[in-house]
């Protein structure tokens, strides 16, 4: 076996080697580029349909906290859900603790507002009930 | 008495010559290396035992040998010559491969491409040494350090060389701990070997893992359609694994299916090294070129990593380039161990596995490209 470079040219070796090397580099570079972006592409498609309901829900939730005192009906509904397990008559301190536990904003101020607006009615024995209950 | 003498003339003892005995010794050596030294035992043991069986001299015409029509070995060998076993092995490999490391570090894929340069360098060397183009391509693919790929391409282009090519490919894969470390140390400075790679990479989601086989097979097979028989089953095996909906199939592909194919592949490739067919000057040339191919592949991966470092802000450890050859997980383990010799706290295994996985894809693409060139 004698090493003869002319055989490479005679068999189109240089072109095959160069083209082959470029093709494999190109192919894997492209694949590398695609997989580096794959999570972003998937993330884009994942977020698209979900973004609408999320956007709709979030402002509502924020409003229910921030504008609690301005929207008394919503506040009543929220606080009525807290007293559902306490019975028809309940102690304000109990309601205060539940509101505090659920991290509702300004529970003391809210209870005072609900009383002043007649939503919470004193029973005379230290307990309270809801106006429409 | 005459009958007994005739029988004795037809025994292996009477027909054996030095070539058969030498090959049987090679087979015993392979068995020894796989059992005692644990060098690639999954492959070297069936191959070694196949070499022993394939080199038991026999009376030609009985339909016993692997090259004789209607012999059992010949039927089993069909899985090699048709490219069936390599495809099945790739299916199992896909079901065993975890691409999350590669998906988290896509830039390391380039090292898998760079390490394939050994293939093209060897193609030129083989042509210059007088191999015809199809034989040259078959010898060159040894540089991919991927046994099934080498066997597949050789079966398609130069079936008469399957034995030497397969033996060379698997021998050099088994010799990774001896071949690669000196090259890695020669081409890198201590400072480079001490480079630590970031541990924290982004989390790869299940969706990415599921999408990757689809994207991978489309891109790679559109680029080199001749790689479909290898990459098709490979990515199929992977999607079986990552989809999570066909665990039973994935488990079977990664155990019983790949094991069965590996046994028959190794055994018949070993048996195909029949001394009168195997021991030729070309086989010696293939062993020589195979070692060059493997060394160049390692070197080109390391050098490309150094080249990348010229442009990267966050440097990569150039040792990782050596894992770009597709010998999974041998070369990744060797990179890791070489780095740990300099700094025991440097863990490169996962990064090296990313290069390894890329190397598997790269060498299969190269096989497809070379096949296309030779058929064109």
What pLDDT, in 10s, does the model give residues B325-358? 888 888 999 999 999 999 998 889 889 999 999 9
Q: Give the integer Cα–Cα distance in Å for B42 and B37.
A: 12
Residue pairs between chains A and B whose CB atoms are closer than 8 Å: 121
Classified as helix, coil or strand, A130 is strand
Reported ipTM: the value is: 0.86
Show Cβ contacts of residue B332 under 8 Å, excluding neighbours closer than 6 positions.
B323, B349, B352, B353, B355, B356
Q: Give the integer Cα–Cα distance in Å for B56 and B195.
A: 52
B224–A4 C-beta distance less than 8 A: no
From residue B376, alpha-carbon distances to A24, A117, B271, B336 in Å are 18, 90, 32, 41
Q: Give the integer Cα–Cα distance in Å for B324 and B180.
A: 12
Q: Would you state the pLDDT for residue A68?
A: 55
Instruction: Write the pLDDT tens digit of every residue in B52-91.
Output: 999 998 877 778 888 888 899 999 999 999 999 999 999 9
The parent domain of residue B139 ranges over 87-185+204-258+272-375
Length of chain A: 133
Instruction: Write the pLDDT tens digit of every residue in A59-114.
Output: 444 444 555 556 777 788 888 888 877 888 888 888 888 888 887 888 888 888 88
B208–A39 C-beta distance less than 8 A: yes
Q: Give the integer Cα–Cα distance in Å for B270 and B259.
A: 16
- Residue spans per domain, chain A: 6-57, 67-130
Which residues does chain B have within 8 Å of residue A27's beta carbon, measured at their own beta carbons? Answer: 113, 219-220, 223-224, 365
B258: number of Cβ within 10 Å: 23
User: What average pLDDT does this structure show over A24-48?
Assistant: 88
Element (H, E) at B292: helix B281-309
Q: Could you tell me what percentage of chain A is helix, strand and coil, using 3-state DSSP and rounding each to the nearest 5?
A: 70, 5, 25
Report CA torsion sign: A58, A59, A62, A68.
Answer: negative
Interface test with A, best of B100, B128, B137, B374 (most A CBs within 10 A): B128
Q: Give the integer Cα–Cα distance in Å for B350 and B348.
A: 6
Element (H, E) at B25: helix B18-36
Q: Which residues of chain B have pLDDT under 50?
A: none
Does a structural domain hold residue B175? yes
Number of domains in chain B: 1
Asked if A28 contacts B224 with a C-beta cutoff of 8 angstroms, the reply is no
Q: A105-112: long-range contacts (C-beta < 8 A, 24 or more apart)? A: A105/A65, A105/A66, A105/A68, A106/A68, A106/A69, A109/A69, A110/A68, A110/A69, A110/A75, A110/A79, A111/A79
Q: Would you state the pLDDT for residue A127?
A: 84
Residue A133 has pLDDT above 70, yes or no: no
Does a structural domain hold residue B293? yes
Does a structural domain hold residue B267? no
Lowest mean pLDDT among A41-45, A51-55, B12-16, B309-313: A51-55
| A58: its two tokens | 């979030």
Pick the CATH number of A67-130 from 1.10.10, 3.40.50, 1.10.3470, 2.30.29: 1.10.10
Asked if B293 contacts B175 with a C-beta cutoff of 8 angstroms, the reply is no
Which residues does chain A have within 8 Å of residue B141's beta carbon, measured at their own beta carbons? Answer: none
φ/ψ of A122, rounded to 5, equals -75, 135
Q: Please tell me the pTM assigned to this model.
A: 0.78
Q: Give the integer Cα–Cα distance in Å for B61 and B241.
A: 47
* Confidence band for A49, pLDDT divided at 50, 70 and 90: low
Which residue among A18, A27, A38 sits closest to B215, beta carbon to beta carbon?
A38
Q: Most distant CA pair in chain B: distance in Å? A: 85
Which residue among A18, A27, A36 sits closest to B365, beta carbon to beta carbon?
A27
DSSP 8-state assignment for residue B198: P
Report CA torsion sign: B144, B150, B152, B154.
Answer: positive
User: What average pLDDT does this structure show over A111-120?
Assistant: 85
Instruction: Write the pLDDT tens digit of every residue in A2-27.
Output: 888 999 999 999 999 999 999 999 99
Does a structural domain hold residue B72? no
pLDDT > 90: percent of chain A? 23
Does a structural domain hold residue B156? yes
Q: Give the integer Cα–Cα distance in Å for B64 and B15.
A: 15
Q: Would you state the pLDDT for residue A53?
A: 52
B113–A24 C-beta distance less than 8 A: yes
Q: Would you state the pLDDT for residue B227?
A: 94
Q: Would you state the pLDDT for residue B209?
A: 93
Q: Give the integer Cα–Cα distance in Å for A97 and B135.
A: 85
Which residues does chain B have within 8 Å of residue A15's beta carbon, measured at their own beta carbons? Answer: none
Q: Would you state the pLDDT for residue A74?
A: 79
Q: Would you state the pLDDT for residue A62?
A: 46
């Amino acid at each position: 076996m004698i090493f003869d470079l002319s055989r490479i040219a005679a068999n189109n070796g240089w072109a095959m080697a160069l083209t082959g090397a470029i093709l494999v580099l190109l192919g894997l570079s492209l694949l590398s580029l695609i997989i580096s972006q794959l999570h972003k592409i998937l993330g884009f498609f994942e977020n698209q349909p979900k973004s609408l309901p999320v956007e709709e829900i979030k402002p509502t939730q924020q409003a229910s906290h921030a504008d609690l005192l301005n929207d008394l009906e919503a506040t009543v509904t929220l606080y009525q859900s807290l007293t559902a397990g306490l019975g028809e008559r309940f102690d304000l301190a109990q309601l205060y603790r539940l509101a505090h536990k659920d991290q509702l904003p300004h529970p003391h101020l809210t209870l005072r507002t609900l009383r002043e607006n007649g939503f919470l009615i004193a029973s005379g024995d230290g307990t309270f009930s809801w106006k429409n209950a | 008495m005459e009958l007994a003498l005739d029988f004795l003339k037809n025994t292996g003892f009477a027909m054996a010559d030095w070539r058969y005995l030498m090959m049987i010794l090679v087979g015993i050596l392979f068995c020894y290396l796989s059992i005692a030294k644990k060098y690639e035992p999954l492959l070297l043991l069936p191959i070694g035992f196949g070499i022993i069986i394939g080199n038991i001299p026999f009376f030609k015409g009985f339909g016993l040998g692997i090259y004789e029509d209607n012999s059992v070995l010949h039927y089993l060998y069909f899985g090699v010559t048709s490219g069936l076993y390599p495809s099945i092995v790739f299916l199992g490999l896909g079901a065993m491969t975890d691409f999350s490391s590669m998906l988290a570090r896509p830039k390391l894929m380039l090292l898998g491409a760079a390490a394939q340069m050994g293939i093209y360098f060897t193609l030129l060397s083989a042509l210059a040494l007088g191999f015809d183009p199809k034989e040259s391509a078959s010898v060159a693919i040894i540089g991919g350090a991927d046994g099934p790929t080498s066997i597949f391409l050789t079966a398609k282009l130069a079936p008469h060389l399957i034995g030497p090519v397969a033996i060379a490919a698997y021998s050099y894969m088994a010799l990774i701990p001896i071949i690669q470390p000196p090259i890695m140390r020669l081409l890198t400075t201590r400072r480079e070997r001490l480079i630590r790679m970031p541990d924290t990479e982004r989390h790869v989601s299940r969706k990415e893992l599921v999408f990757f086989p689809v994207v991978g097979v489309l891109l790679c097979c559109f680029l080199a359609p001749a790689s479909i028989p290898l990459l098709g089953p490979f990515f199929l095996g992977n999607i079986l694994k990552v989809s999570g909906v066909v665990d039973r199939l994935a488990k079977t592909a990664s155990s019983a299916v790949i094991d069965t194919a590996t046994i028959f592949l190794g055994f018949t490739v070993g048996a195909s090294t029949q001394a009168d067919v195997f021991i030729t000057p070309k086989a010696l040339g293939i062993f020589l070129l195979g070692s060059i191919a493997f060394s160049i592949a390692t070197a080109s991966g390391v050098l490309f990593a150094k080249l990348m470092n010229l442009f990267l802000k966050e440097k990569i450890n150039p040792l990782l380039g050596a894992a770009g050859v597709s010998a999974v997980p041998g070369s990744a383990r060797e990179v890791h161990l070489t780095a740990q010799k300099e700094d025991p706290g440097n863990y490169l295994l996962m990064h090296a596995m990313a290069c390894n996985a890329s190397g598997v894809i790269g060498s299969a693409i190269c096989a497809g490209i070379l096949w296309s060139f030779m058929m064109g």
